[in-house]
């Protein structure tokens, strides 16, 4: 433990409770954790989901891999250690939004079971909704709007998930969204149908 830890004095017990904030804004907060290969549709679905929830009167926040890496995690690379730290920071930020009553929509490859379990442990089992955005590798490569797969195939990107680094599908996600079979709207509606009973204050 850092020697400075003894000088840290958290004041969480003096602060407003999550339930107070949820009551104020009229919703229950949850963290949606979308995992899947690059190009599977995570960000597209998240943007559409945010718009649909907004229309229904809910307050959300999207945390997307590329956006986060241009800000809070701009100093991190893609080594195993940096991937772990990337997800740890995201989970801690998600927990802050959770305590504010905000529904957080996360879009991260988060390729291994262990790394997603780290996020689940930080956020909490009851508030962590794991959504597997499932699309075959060949479909993701066809989409490849960022040109990442072609660069990975050419060797200019190393440790790229799905090509030179493994992706471990979730064992028991709350939802599986097959984006090679469902349209974007169908995918969004499936998530909304699952989520509404969890976020509506009765």
Kindly tell me if the per-residue pLDDT of 107 is higher than 90.
yes
**What CATH fold (topology level) applies to the domain 17-196?**
Rossmann fold (3.40.50)
Reported as type and span, the H/E element at residue 137 is helix 137-143
Task: For 111-168, write each residue's pLDDT tens digit.
Answer: 999 999 999 999 999 999 999 999 999 898 888 877 888 887 878 788 788 787 889 9
Which residues are CB-neighbours of 29 under 8 A, at least 6 positions away? 18, 22, 97, 98, 99, 100, 101, 102, 103, 104, 127, 199
What pTM was estimated for this model as a whole?
Answer: 0.88
Which amino acids are annotated catalytic?
110
pLDDT at res. 2: 59
């Amino acid at each position: 433990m850092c020697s400075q830890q003894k000088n840290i004095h958290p004041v969480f017990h003096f602060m407003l409770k999550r339930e107070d904030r949820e009551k104020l804004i009229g919703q229950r907060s949850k963290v949606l954790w979308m995992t899947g290969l690059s190009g599977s549709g995570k960000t597209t679905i998240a943007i559409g989901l945010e718009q649909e929830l907004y229309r229904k009167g809910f307050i959300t926040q999207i945390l997307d891999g590329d956006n986060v890496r241009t800000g809070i995690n701009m100093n991190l690379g893609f080594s195993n250690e940096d991937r772990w730290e990337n997800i740890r920071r995201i989970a801690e930020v998600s927990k802050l939004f959770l305590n504010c009553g905000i529904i957080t929509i996360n879009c991260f490859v988060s390729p291994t079971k262990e790394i997603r379990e780290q996020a689940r442990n930080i956020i909490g089992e009851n508030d962590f909704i794991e959504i597997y955005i499932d699309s075959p590798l060949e479909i993701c490569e066809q989409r490849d709007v960022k040109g990442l797969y072609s660069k990975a195939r050419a060797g200019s990107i190393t440790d790229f998930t799905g090509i030179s680094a493994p992706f471990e599908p979730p064992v028991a996600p709350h939802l599986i969204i097959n984006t090679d079979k469902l349209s974007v709207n169908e995918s969004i509606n499936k998530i909304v149908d699952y989520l509404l009973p969890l976020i509506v204050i009765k």
